[in-house]
Chain A
Amino acid sequence: MEAALKTIQDKVHAGRRLSDEDALALFRTRDILSVGEMADFANRRKNGDRVYFIVNRHINPTNICVNRCQFCAFSKTKGEPLAYTMTMEEVMRRAEEASRQKATELHIVGGLHPDLPFDFYLLMLRTLRDRFPAMHIQAFTAVEIDYFSRITGLPLRDVILELKEAGLGSLPGGGAEIFAPEVRNRICPEKISGDRWLEVMDAVHAEGLRSNATMLYGHVETLESRVDHLRRLREMQDRTGGFQSFIPLAFHPKNTQIAKGYTTGLEDLLSLAVARLYLDNFHHIKSFWIMVGPKLAQISLHFGVDDIDGTVVEEKITHAAGAQAGQEMTVSDLVTMIRQAGRVPVERDTLYNVVREWPQGRA
C-alpha cells in the first residue's frame, strides 16, 4: 500500500478525522481496493450490513428555467419546443399513482420558472398534503428556495416557514454542483453562489428541516475543488447536523454545453468512497443508481455506500443528459440487488425510519 494510504488507513481504523490532503490523496490513488476496503470498514461501523432504499416518485413540475446552466440538458427556455409546465392536475395524477404504489415520499424539483408565483408552489404543497397525508414531501433545492425569496422579496426564513407550514417535509440536496466560484463561473454562471447555497441550507436546518447534500463531479472541476466542496459540507454539518445523506452526482454530458466523456467506474466509486471516509459526520452516503447504473450501484455497496435511493419511477433530468439506466426499479429489483451484494435490504422513509426490513438471505 502507498505510504499516504497507510497513514489514512490508520486514521480510519482509529476513527480519526481525515485532512484535506488525505482526501486529495484518496482521489488521486488508483489503489481502489485499499480505498474500497477502508470505506467499507467506515460504512459498516456506522450502518452494519444495512442498505437503505425508499419507495418514492420523482416529479419535475417544469423544465422551464431562467438559469440555463451549461451542464444541464433538462432545462428549457419558455416557448422552446420541448418546454413544459405541469398543471396542478398533472402533478396530482403522478402523486396519486405514487400513493397507489405505496410510495412514502414525493421528490419534487424543477426549473426556476419565470412566471409561476410562489403561491403556486404553496398551493401544490397544501393540496398534496391534504390529499396524500401519508407521503412525505421532499422538495425544492436551495436554488429554488433562493429564487422564491427573490420573486417574493421575502427573507429566506419566511419563505422556508411558509413552505413548511404548507407541507414541505425536507429538502433534497441538489444545486450544490461544485462550490468553488471559478468552477461555478464556467458551468453555471447564473446560479446562486456556493456561499448562498450553504446559507440557504443553514436557514433550512435552523427551521428544523433536514436536507441532503450533493456534489456534481466529472466536468471541469479539479480534485482540489472537490475537496474544498466536501470540506465546506463537513464544516456546516459540524455546525447544524442537518444533512441526512450525501449524494455524489456523476456528470452526464449528452445534450449539455460541456464537451466531456461520461465518468468512469473508478471515478464514481472513488467519489462515493472518499465521501464516506472524509465526511465522517454524515450518516448516509447514497449512490443514485440512475446516475451510475444499477450494476455499479450494486458494487458501490462495498465501497462505503449504505443507500441506493429508490424506485424513482419517472426520471427526467439525468435521462435528458444521456443516462442509460431505466426509469424505475421495483422494490423486488432493489431487494434482490442488495441481497446479492450480501447486505440486508431496509426500506426506509425519508427520515430513515425503518418501514420494513428484509431478513438476511444468502448472497
Chain B
Amino acid sequence: MAGGAVPTVEETARLLREAPLFELGRAADDLRRSIHPDGAVGYIVDRNINYTNICVCGCSFCAFYRDRSSPDAYVLPEDALSRKIEETLSLGGTQVLLQGGLHPEWGVDEAERIVRAVKRHPVRLHGFSPPEIWHFADRSGMSVGDVIARLVAAGLDSIPGGGAEILDDMVRARISPRKIGWEQWASVMREAHRQGLRTSATMMFGSIETPEAISRHLLRVRELQEETGGFASFIPWAFQSGNTALSADPAFMEGAAAGFGHAAGYLRVLAVSRLLLPNIRTVQVSWVTMGAKVAQLGLFFGGNDFGSTMIEENVVASAGVSFRMSEEEIVATIRDAGFLPVKREGLPC
C-alpha cells in the first residue's frame, strides 16, 4: 500500500484474506484520522421509504421483492407516503431515502409523480438507485441522462448507491441475473455526477463472491471517483441470508464459511474499503446489518459515519435482521467511542 500506487486486485485480495485484523484496523484508523482529524462522526435522521415491493428483478439475495400477483405485493399510496414524511419531519428528520422494486409499469412519469409528492413536504429527497433509474429510462424509451434531468427538475436531490451489490458481472450473473451489469451501474453514476448530483456507493458482500471480486468492486469505485469525484460516501454491508433464495443454495452455504459475511469479516472488509478508497471522504458503518455494537467498533476500522436512524427499514428486516437505533442511541454510541457526533442534513460533505 506504500508509495500511493493503486493496489492491484491480487494485492487487495491478499489484504482481505491475510492481513492481521489489528494491523488492518490500525491502518484504516490512521487513514480515517488523517481525513477526519476532528474526530467527527456523522449521522442523519431520515426515513427509508420503499414505494413498492413489486419487482421484476427477483434477485436471489433479496427477501423483500414480490411478484405483482402476490397477496402482500404493494404500491405505497400517496396519502400513506405523506403520512410517513410528516412523521419523519416531526421526529426532526430532514431527508427521505426513497427506493423501491422495479415495477413493470413504472417509467419516468410515475417516478416524477412520486418525486413531486415527496417534495410537497420540506424534505430532502435521496432516491432511486441506478437499477431504478435504468428501469425508468428503459420503460419510457428515454436516455438515463434525460430521466435524471427530469427527476432533478421535479426535486430529486441525490442518488443512493444501491444496486451495486458486487460490481463484477460474474457475481451478478449468479445473484442478480436480471439486474443491470456493473458498467451500466457505473454509467448511471457517471451521468448523475456529470449533472452535478452527488451520490453514495454501496457494496453488498458475503454472498458468493471471492475476495478478488470484492477487490475489483473497490478498485472500480475508486477509478470512477478519480474520474468524477461525485461519490460522497461508501457503504459496505454484509448480505443477510434469512428468507432468501440464495440461503437455500448449497453452494452459498459452502462458501459462507470462507467468505466475509460475518462480524469479523465485516470489520476486515470495512477496513480494506477505507484503505482502498482514499479518494472518498466518508465510509459508513452498517448498524442495520451488524447491530450497534459491531458498528461502534467499526469506527475504529475506518468508519466515520453512523448512517441513518432509518425510522423504518423493510429490506434487511425481510431477511430476518431487525436492529433498531434511535437518534439518542446513535449519539450516545458515537460519544462512548470517544468521537464527536455531528448531525448532517444530507449526504456527507
Q: Which residues of A contact B (CB under 8 A)?
A: 30, 32-33, 36-37, 40, 261-262, 264-269, 292-296, 298-299, 301-302, 324, 336-337, 339-342, 361-363
Q: A298-B264, A363-B264 are in contact. List 9 more A-B contacts (CB 8 A).
A: A30-B338, A33-B22, A265-B295, A266-B296, A295-B262, A299-B267, A324-B291, A340-B262, A362-B258
CA distance A342 to B294 in the complex (A): 18
Q: Is the CB–CB distance between A336 and B22 below 8 Å? A: no
- Does B178 make an interface contact (CB < 8 A)? no
Known: A292-B293, A295-B263, A296-B294. A266 touches B337 (CB 8 A): yes
Q: Is the CB–CB distance between B294 and A299 below 8 Å? A: yes
Q: Is the CB–CB distance between B300 and A337 below 8 Å? A: no
Which residues of chain B have C-beta atoms less than 8 A from A269's C-beta?
297
Q: Which 7 A-B pairs have the closest CB atoms?
A: A265-B293, A30-B338, A295-B263, A265-B296, A296-B293, A341-B264, A37-B22
Which residues of chain B have C-beta atoms less than 8 A from A40's C-beta?
22
Q: Is the CB–CB distance between B294 and A302 below 8 Å? A: no
Q: Is the CB–CB distance between A298 and B263 below 8 Å? A: yes
Which residues of chain B have C-beta atoms less than 8 A from A36's C-beta?
22
Q: Is the CB–CB distance between B294 and A295 below 8 Å? A: yes
Instruction: Tell me the smallest distance from the CB of B334 to a CB of chain A, in Å.
Output: 10
Interface string of B275-315 (1 = CB under 8 A from A): 00000000000000011111111001000000000000000
Find the residue from B258, B262, B264, B329 having the highest chain A CB count within 10 A.
Answer: B264
Which residues of chain B have C-beta atoms less than 8 A from A295's C-beta?
262-263, 290-291, 293-294
CA distance A167 to B337 in the complex (A): 47
Q: Is the CB–CB distance between A336 and B256 below 8 Å? A: yes
- Does B112 make an interface contact (CB < 8 A)? no
Which residues of chain B have C-beta atoms less than 8 A from A33's C-beta?
22, 25-26, 29, 300
CA distance A206 to B29 in the complex (A): 49
Q: Which among A266, A292, A324, A340 is the interface contact of B264 at CB below 8 angstroms? A: A340
Instruction: Tell me the smallest distance from the CB of A297 to a CB of chain B, in Å.
Output: 8
**Listed A/B pairs (13) with beta-carbon separation below 8 Å:** A30-B337, A32-B300, A33-B300, A265-B297, A266-B297, A266-B337, A267-B336, A294-B263, A299-B267, A301-B264, A339-B257, A361-B257, A362-B258
Q: Is the CB–CB distance between B292 and A265 below 8 Å? A: yes
Q: Which among B257, B291, B294, B323 is the interface contact of A336 at CB below 8 angstroms? A: B257
- Does B332 make an interface contact (CB < 8 A)? yes
Q: Is the CB–CB distance between B336 and A340 below 8 Å? A: no
Q: How many A-B residue pairs have CB under 8 A?
A: 80
Which residues of chain B have C-beta atoms less than 8 A from A265's C-beta?
292-297
Which residues of chain A have C-beta atoms less than 8 A from B293's C-beta?
264-265, 268, 292-293, 295-296
Q: Is the CB–CB distance between A298 and B29 below 8 Å? A: no
Find the residue from B21, B29, B290 having the highest chain A CB count within 10 A.
Answer: B21
Q: Is the CB–CB distance between B265 and A340 below 8 Å? A: yes
Known: A33-B29, A40-B22, A265-B294. A342 touches B300 (CB 8 A): no
- Does B199 make an interface contact (CB < 8 A)? no
Q: Is the CB–CB distance between A299 and B292 below 8 Å? A: no
CA distance A324 to B291 in the complex (A): 10
CA distance A269 to B262 in the complex (A): 17
Q: Is the CB–CB distance between B329 and A261 below 8 Å? A: yes
Which residues of chain B have C-beta atoms less than 8 A from A261's C-beta?
329, 332
Known: A33-B22, A33-B25. A340 touches B297 (CB 8 A): no
Instruction: Tell me the smallest distance from the CB of A111 to a CB of chain B, in Å.
Output: 29
CA distance A40 to B291 in the complex (A): 23
Q: Is the CB–CB distance between B292 and A264 below 8 Å? A: yes
Residue on B with the closest CB to A294?
Answer: B263
CA distance A363 to B260 in the complex (A): 9
Which residues of chain B have C-beta atoms less than 8 A from A296's C-beta?
263, 291, 293-294, 297
Which residues of chain A have C-beta atoms less than 8 A from B323's C-beta?
324
CA distance A296 to B323 in the complex (A): 14
Q: Is the CB–CB distance between A299 and B265 below 8 Å? A: no
Q: Is the CB–CB distance between B297 and A32 below 8 Å? A: yes
Residue on B with the closest CB to A298?
Answer: B263
CA distance A40 to B22 in the complex (A): 10
Q: Is the CB–CB distance between B262 and A337 below 8 Å? A: yes
Q: Is the CB–CB distance between B21 and A264 below 8 Å? A: no
Which residues of chain B have C-beta atoms less than 8 A from A324's C-beta?
291, 323
CA distance A226 to B29 in the complex (A): 29
Find the residue from A40, A340, A362 having the highest chain B CB count within 10 A.
Answer: A340
Which residues of chain A have C-beta atoms less than 8 A from B294's C-beta?
265, 295-296, 299
Which residues of chain B have C-beta atoms less than 8 A from A268's C-beta?
293
Residue on A with the closest CB to B262?
Answer: A340
CA distance A301 to B265 in the complex (A): 13
- Does B176 make an interface contact (CB < 8 A)? no
Residue on A with the closest CB to B258?
Answer: A362
Residue on A with the closest CB to B332?
Answer: A261
CA distance A292 to B294 in the complex (A): 10
Residue on A with the closest CB to B24?
Answer: A33
CA distance A337 to B264 in the complex (A): 9
Instruction: Tell me the smallest distance from the CB of A51 to a CB of chain B, in Å.
Output: 12
Which residues of chain A have C-beta atoms less than 8 A from B332's C-beta?
261, 264
- Does B50 make an interface contact (CB < 8 A)? no
Interface residues of B in 229-268 (CB under 8 A from A): 256-258, 262-265, 267
